[in-house]
Amino acid sequence: MAHWRTRKAIVEVEDLAPEHRLKRSLGWPHLVALGVGAIVGTGILTLIGVGAAKAGPSVILSFAIAGVICAAAALAYAEMATMIPASGSAYTYTYVVLGELLAWIVGWSLILEYSLVVSAVAVGWSGYAAPLLEAWAGFPEALTQGPELGGIVNLPAIAIIAVVAGLLIYGLRESANVNAALVVVKVIALIVFVAVSLPYFNSANFEPFMPYGFPKSGPSGSEVGVMAAAAIIFFAFYGFDAIATAAEEAKNPGRDLSIGIVGSMVVCVIIYMAVAAAAIGALAYTRFANSPEPLALILREIGQPLAAQYLALSAVIALPTVILAFFYGQSRIFFVMARDGLLPRGLARVSGRGSPVRITIFTGIVVAILAGLIPLAELAALANAGTLTAFIAVAVCMLVMRRRAPDAERKFRTPLAWPVGAVAILGCLYLIYSLPQRTQIWFLGAHIVGLAIYLLYGARQSVAGTEDAPAGVAPR
């Protein structure tokens, strides 16, 4: 059955009628800009402090390693997106190539990823919004941090999730111009940070360069080192799949997708490493490690309060778009899994405005609770585990399809597919190993719960491959 589904999916892509094909209007510069806009966000603005706490000055190397692994996964993702251009992302690719059970595991991982990313970005946004609220409106600090950080609840994080959920319920769609403007806001803010902090550069702050070693080498329960930091700040490279989903609109997919994906990754790695170098050079990493707003803190510490306020304001303006994007993604994953019968089909219903209201409200409640109570590092680590699992699955699907259907037309072919696939799979596995042990336990527990739901409900209700699928639901 899996083999039939694979052949069928390829035929559907190849046989698209002209009126159902998107106009090929995007060149590689557009795709690079799209990727940079999707990738640059909470990771560099907030997680650099978490990464510095784990790796010290060698967090720069952590950014480079995470970027290389993510680029390999992105290339595999691009090939699969051109072969199976359907909603559902890694879940759909796994469903078509590897079957329903593995697709459920990947889909459950994606649910964890998207939900936790929304929570993590909300917490990251709050890290920059809270000082402004405290300074301008006298907002109590106890209501801007969760219990583990000494507060009561992170109300700003809950509030921004409520705002975004409300916008999604009413079917708000961002325009390309707004997205482009916000990309400029984010990138300029980082350029300003580098320009302002460079005059305070002190090379002594880089000694010792690798205080905690390469692998996780700390005492029990406190995983540190370059790879431990890479496993957390991997979060900073989310968003490249926005390029893969533009496969049908690329003027020359075989060239433009590879340039767009690799180019945006190179640009982001350079930006991230420049920001990390400027940050550590300007201030000893121990002084901003684990700060909820590390870049703004550094600017204040070196006597640049106006630049710090500008950076914080830029983050407050730009980061909600990341929440919006991942909220959209979450609803689409839920929608496709519900349509396949693996979740209650009622979740696949949309309102008169075309919005999945039930999914949005349910997801909003869950992510708001997480954002209000759990620290950023914990959320990012668990989200990374889900994402890494999905990336492994996509790389495996690419390699399986190279064997199963080697002659199938591919609008984009990953160069050096087997080495690239191996880097993606082995790199992601090592990053999962490098995650905190508590994160690994929570991730395993979440999947045990997920498998129980699949066995008790999904496997019995699935419509895949049956002839009696409900109206409007085509078997795979």
> pTM (2 decimals)?
0.75
Residues linked to residue 144 through DSSP beta bridges, in sequence order? 154
Digits of tens for pLDDT over the chain (476 positions)? Answer: 344 344 444 444 444 444 434 566 778 887 777 777 777 776 677 778 888 888 899 989 998 898 889 889 988 988 887 787 665 678 888 988 998 889 888 888 888 777 777 888 888 788 778 877 777 777 777 777 767 666 788 888 888 888 888 877 765 454 445 666 777 888 888 999 999 999 999 999 998 899 888 876 554 445 788 988 888 888 778 777 667 656 666 777 777 877 887 788 888 888 888 998 999 999 998 888 878 788 989 999 999 999 998 988 887 887 777 777 677 667 667 777 777 777 777 766 666 655 667 777 877 888 888 888 877 677 777 788 888 898 999 999 999 999 998 988 787 888 899 999 999 999 999 888 888 888 888 888 888 988 888 888 766 666 554 444 443 333 44
Domains in the chain: boundaries: 39-461
pLDDT of residue 2: 41
* Pair 388, 432: CB distance under 8 Å: yes
What's the one-letter identity of residue 432?
I
What's the one-letter identity of residue 79?
E
Cα 69 to chain center, whole Å? 14
Q: In the structure encoding, which two tokens stand for residue 159, read together?
A: 């509030």
CATH fold of 39-461: Amino acid/polyamine transporter I (1.20.1740)
List Cα–Cα distances, 273 to 65, 167, 194, 266, 281, in angstroms. 11, 34, 11, 10, 12
Place of tokens 């498998």: 451
pLDDT of residue 402: 95
pLDDT of residue 421: 96
pLDDT of residue 401: 94
Bond prior to 292 in cis (omega within 30° of 0): no
pLDDT of residue 88: 66
Residues in the chain: 476
pLDDT of residue 22: 52
